[in-house]
Amino acid sequence: MRRATLKDVAARAGVHVATASRALNETSRHLVNSATLDRVLRAAADLGYSGNLSARTLRTARSMAIGMLLPDLTNPIFPPIVRGAEDILRERGYSTWIANTDDDPKITAASIDAFLARGVDGFISAGSRLHDGTAEQMAAQGHALVLVNRAVDRADIPSVTADDDHGVRLALSHFVELGHRKIVHLAGPQDLSTGVHRKRAFVQGLADHGLDREPERVAQCEAWSQREGHRVLSGLLRDEKIDFTAIVAGNDLIALGCYDALRERGLTCPHDVSIIGFNDTPFMDHVAPPMTTIRIPQYDLGREAAKLLVDLLEDPTGGPRSIVLPVELVIRRSTAPLR
Amino acid sequence: MRRATLKDVAARAGVHVATASRALNETSRHLVNSATLDRVLRAAADLGYSGNLSARTLRTARSMAIGMLLPDLTNPIFPPIVRGAEDILRERGYSTWIANTDDDPKITAASIDAFLARGVDGFISAGSRLHDGTAEQMAAQGHALVLVNRAVDRADIPSVTADDDHGVRLALSHFVELGHRKIVHLAGPQDLSTGVHRKRAFVQGLADHGLDREPERVAQCEAWSQREGHRVLSGLLRDEKIDFTAIVAGNDLIALGCYDALRERGLTCPHDVSIIGFNDTPFMDHVAPPMTTIRIPQYDLGREAAKLLVDLLEDPTGGPRSIVLPVELVIRRSTAPLR
DNA sequence: ATGAAAGCGCTAACAT
DNA sequence: ATGTTAGCGCTTTCAT
């Protein structure tokens, strides 16, 4: 059976479509007589009416839809973010589009355009490379945009991020308490704000603890991957000049790569080297050894981003706000006192 | 600046909107003179025109959008499925809505209705409980629907699933080759097709190997969770009547729960008991011990589901097809020869 | 308090 | 080959 339209509802209630429309919309409901309101509501319920949002979008130029851009849903940090955002958006009456971009500028541009063609009211982006300018461009064009998990050097683009700095400080303090003094950082790529923040905080933290005498305390990974963690730590282990007893890894995958590199050299974690990861990716409590890591509240990151966006849409005068969410050190067994 | 409309393009090209529309649509392009075609295309490019899909949807009653229903994106089996589907859909010009339902009938119904209100052309559902009737109801209402990862007892609802039966057979053969004879199955919930298929295949497989003399070879988990795996295996270990040297777990999480239960009793895997999981969830290669498991091609499940749906939409006469994708035994270190 | 009418941007049937 | 016209379903201004 054909889906009921407003016209059907109006006919059944014996009123004009305009009246039916008014009755069915919260904001105009007060304009209609309570008896007719009842009739319309009843008719709508009888017919299982639920409106045509394409028509409404066309007429009102508001879609109650938002587009979510992310590099790759398959990367375990994203699902909780998307879930958090979708939960809030659904609660508030919005629907959610998703697109995986692989951080490819072409796919990103095409996805943005597709979302725009569908009249999205705003965007949540989880994949803004620091210097590709996409975010800035979107902001310049006046599109509502909230960045999540990554920020951009511009105060007028709202973002929701985790407190990476504090996470690094927690990691360093933990190591220092355990007696470690020779600590290295396997930094993630520097084209993402998380990468630069964590690295910067590490260098600063080393200085704060008076541990910065040697320069080679940071090694650079070219990707946030296990493979890179393995490659870079292997290099460090071959290099006689650098010795260390503890590693702050850019993220859990890099830390996992460190596990591999240590194992290959016959070293064990945490006996020979302690490691702290970042993110508390699922199952890190079950890897061997269970990984000490900085937990990022991904689900809340998604929720807060969605809240920020909706608030922005509903009150554009509010001005952009950015939120930094607290992180937490989860101590497991990849860290141990210095022998 | 205001987004360009077809009218703007037509004006700039000096033609009527209908001509512009024809020029811009593949199917009607041949109707327009090649010189005017050029002018329209040029004008569209100049203006960065990309159409208003709400208007088109309203007019054509086709949205080129599909809705994806899943219980919980945070469950690691779903992201690759969604990613696979989205990849195909984007390739074919469709956009993707997502909704997490938590398998809650209310949320599911509301999400379906929201998708319908937005005029989706079809649905991909990854969360069809076997007996809740939602899928059947949708099919009855004539909505295009493809089930993924789970099937329903109805031939006319297309589905894409993994070959669970073969997976169980692979697991059993592996155990038998290793010398195991006392094998139990920790079955997943029976309201999902995967749960019943795996259990049925296990019972059948035991018979095929002549290993079915004892009845208590199957224990039932109430959820696909680590916690349930732990609870149920603990029960089995306390039960003096049942002894076993090998476990086919309903999925990897249940298997992880088995790890926990064994550890609590001072038993080790695979020394005392061998375990095979199901799914090859991310990081199962890094748990301790690395888990032998049946790999399900989740990404391809998503891709095939999307293909099936699009084919269905583009040629409804094709009739429903269902696809079963091959699985693979991944041997790691949670299985060992019988001592 | 309700109805009439216009129009959002687009496509398709019809006319030329 | 192109223009004219109508209308998808809805909201909103204006009139009553």
pLDDT at B128 over 70: no
Number of H helices, E strands in chain B: 12, 12
Q: Could you tell me which chain A residue has the CA closest to the CA of B2? A: A141
Q: How does pLDDT run across A268-283, given as a tens digit for each residue?
A: 999 999 999 999 999 9
Separation of alpha carbons B178 and B172, rounded Å: 10
Q: How does pLDDT run across B228-285, given as a tens digit for each residue?
A: 999 999 999 998 888 999 999 999 999 999 999 999 999 999 999 999 999 999 999 9
Separation of alpha carbons A175 and B154, rounded Å: 59
Residue B92 (CA) to nucleotide D10 (C1'), in angstroms, measures 29
CA-nearest of B125, B148, B149 to B137 is B125
Give the B window 112-151 contacts with A, CB below 8 Å.
113-119, 141
Q: pLDDT value at position B317?
A: 86
Q: How does pLDDT run across B209-222, given as a tens digit for each residue?
A: 999 887 789 999 99
Asked if A320 reaches chain B (Cβ–Cβ under 8 Å), the answer is no
Q: Could you tell me which chain B residue has the CA closest to the CA of A1? A: B141
Residue B30: pLDDT band (50, 70, 90) is: very high
Q: Which two tokens stand for residue B287?
A: 């748990």
Residue A57 (CA) to nucleotide D13 (C1'), in angstroms, measures 18
With CB atoms and an 8 Å threshold, state whether B73 touches A90.
Answer: no
With CB atoms and an 8 Å threshold, state whether B119 touches A74.
Answer: no
Q: How does pLDDT run across A12-22, given as a tens digit for each residue?
A: 999 999 999 99
Separation of alpha carbons B269 and B255, rounded Å: 11
CA-nearest of A24, A32, A30, A29 to A8 is A24
Residue for token pair 């007893």: A245
> Which of the 3-62 residues on chain A come under 7 Å of nucleic strand C at their beta carbon?
15-19, 22, 31-33, 35-37, 55, 58-59, 61
Give the bridge partners for B328, in sequence order.
B295
Residue B41: pLDDT band (50, 70, 90) is: very high
Q: One-letter amino acid identity for A236?
A: L
Asked if B86 reaches chain A (Cβ–Cβ under 8 Å), the answer is yes
Q: What is the mean pLDDT of residues A245-260?
A: 97
Give the number of residues written for chain A: 339
Cα–Cα separations (whole angstroms), residue B66 to A55, B115, B143, B311, B332: 18, 8, 11, 13, 39
Residue B125: pLDDT band (50, 70, 90) is: very high
Residue B122 (CA) to nucleotide D12 (C1'), in angstroms, measures 32
On strand C, nucleotides with any atom < 7 Å from a protein CB are 1-5, 7-13
DSSP A89: H
B74, B143, B260, B293: which to substitute to probe chain A, counting the most A Cβ within 10 Å? Answer: B74
In this complex, the answer to whether residue B25 has its CB under 7 A from any atom of chain D, a nucleic strand, is no
Q: Could you tell me which chain B residue has the CA closest to the CA of A118? A: B53
Separation of alpha carbons A336 and A271, rounded Å: 7
* Nucleotide nearest the Cα atom of A30 (by C1'): C1
